[in-house]
Structure 1
Amino acid sequence: MGFLLSFSTTLTMGILASLLFICSFLALSRLSNAQKKRMPPQAGDASPLIRHLPLLGGPKPLHRTLGEMADKYGPVFTIKLGVNRALVVSDSEIAKEYA
């Protein structure tokens, strides 16, 4: 009798722990999706390891490259420099809002 009581208690606690884990995982995934929605678009054409660094170090000057990217992706976009994300703002009025 004691074995069945112990088994049912363990089973109940295991089910509750599993439900708690699943609920917390779903809440974190919703939170990360909400954060992604608020981020400006990320520029494409990035290599997997060094990201946008080769695009910025090409034969064109840096301001021309960023200007072309602004024409393509809009006045506010992000680029990845290695593991870091950088926000590029090419409109002075929008830059005043971010400051």
Structure 2
Amino acid sequence: MEVPYLYISLLLLLLASYLFRRKSANLPPTVFPVLPIIGHLYLLKPPLHRTLAKISAKYGPVLLLQLGFRRVLLVSSPSATEECFTKNDIIFANRPHMLFGKIIGNNYTTLIWSSYGENWRNLCRIASLEILSTRRLNEFHDIRVDECRLMIRKLMSDSNPVNMKTVFYELTLNVMMRMISGKRYFGGDIAATEEEGTRFRKIMDETVLLASAANIAPYRS
């Protein structure tokens, strides 16, 4: 009988410690109850965007959620979003360090996963000049037009139902890869035996699968 009482005492101690720390900090309101270990993960059900919209509608436009051991700020009002990304943009510029970002993002050194600092500013500068500038976008205009033409031609030639999500996915990747390497890796005119294209498609499919899979690691610490 002593062991269960010990577990209950430890849980109560952890809960009291959490509530004390939260009251002493200037934090946004949160949703009660906050369960031990999992926090608010029990609230997240598919489809996720609708679940978060319901939570915001019920509890307010700015909420602090505890997902495992990670704190997440849920912002749903335009004014609060503007304040986060204009007045306090540097504060929110850092990226969370997750296992997926470490592996796919070359140890958090890519533009998407890099934290705010010299490396991130340098990558933004390169992207702005070499990819997103008006001059470069005009240079890539023919590529975008050509890929859209190929996509429309493919849709017109097939009378069967089409998964538009897959079509736009292939369109986007073909445009990106032609901008970067001058090659397209998706579409009916691509030989399935082409080694480089086959390897690239396999990498992209595996990356998307891993990115969308459930992974408890980011919320454990």
TM-score (norm 1): 0.56
> Which whole-Å deviations, capped at 9, do the CAs of 1:40-73 have from their partners, x for residues lacking one?
10112432211112221x2x31111111111111
Report the equivalent of 1:15: none
Report the equivalent of 2:64: 78
- Determine the C-alpha separation between the residues in 2 that align with 1:44 and 1:68: 15
Structure 1 stretches lacking a partner, 5+ long: 1-28
| 2:38 aligned with 1:50 | yes
Letter in 1 for 2:63: F
User: RCO (CA 8 Å, sep 6+): is it higher in 1 or 2?
Assistant: 1
- Determine the C-alpha separation between the residues in 2 that align with 1:45 and 1:55: 10
Give the fraction of aligned pairs with identical amino acids, expressed as a percent. Answer: 41
Report the equivalent of 1:3: none
Structure 2 stretches lacking a partner, 5+ long: 1-19, 86-221
Please tell me the root mean square deviation across aligned C-alpha atoms, in Å: 1.9
Report the equivalent of 1:93: 79
| 2:26 aligned with 1:41 | no
TM-score (norm 2): 0.27
Q: Which runs of 4+ in 1 moved over 6 A?
A: none
3-state SS in 2 of match to 1:69: helix
Letter in 2 for 1:95: T
3-state SS in 1 of match to 2:82: helix
3-state SS in 1 of match to 2:52: helix
- Determine the C-alpha separation between the residues in 1 that align with 2:33 and 2:55: 11
Alignment coverage as a number of residue pairs: 64
1:54-73 aligned within 5 A: 54-56=42-44, 58=45, 60-73=46-59
3-state SS in 2 of match to 1:49: coil
- Determine the C-alpha separation between the residues in 1 that align with 2:50 and 2:32: 17
- Determine the C-alpha separation between the residues in 1 that align with 2:48 and 2:33: 16
3-state SS in 2 of match to 1:86: strand
Letter in 1 for 2:32: G
